[in-house]
Amino acid sequence: MLGWLTGIIFLLIDKRPFVRFHAAQSIVVFGALFVIRIALAFTIGGTYYLGLGLMHLMLFFLFGLVTFILWLVLMVQAYQGKWFEIPIAAGIARNLAGKVN
């Protein structure tokens, strides 16, 4: 998933503080999840020969499903105009988006 890429686009083209905050939060949240997903992909290949391949594949699938659900929830919250903050990512997003209030 490349949810962080759309965040970069909206952060660059939109000047509204609400949109900039949610775009920055998208960059932080989905950028981190993208890095974790890549790390999981590499560990799946290495552990396949140890008999842990199926467990890691299920974990990889579950991680993707949770990421997709989080993407939907955040998109709906932003569309409805709700100020929805992910605990750690919100502070980083405020710094990335600049002045939002």
* Domain residue ranges in the chain: 3-97
Give the pLDDT score at 99: 62
pTM over 0.75: yes
- Residues 8-53 pLDDT 10s: 888 899 888 888 898 899 999 999 988 888 887 777 665 555 556 6
Encode 2-18 in three state secondary structure. Answer: CHHHHHHHHHHHCCCHH
- Residues 41-81 pLDDT 10s: 777 665 555 556 677 778 878 888 988 998 888 888 888 98
Compute the distance between CA of residue 11 and CA of residue 75 in angstroms, rounded to an integer.
15
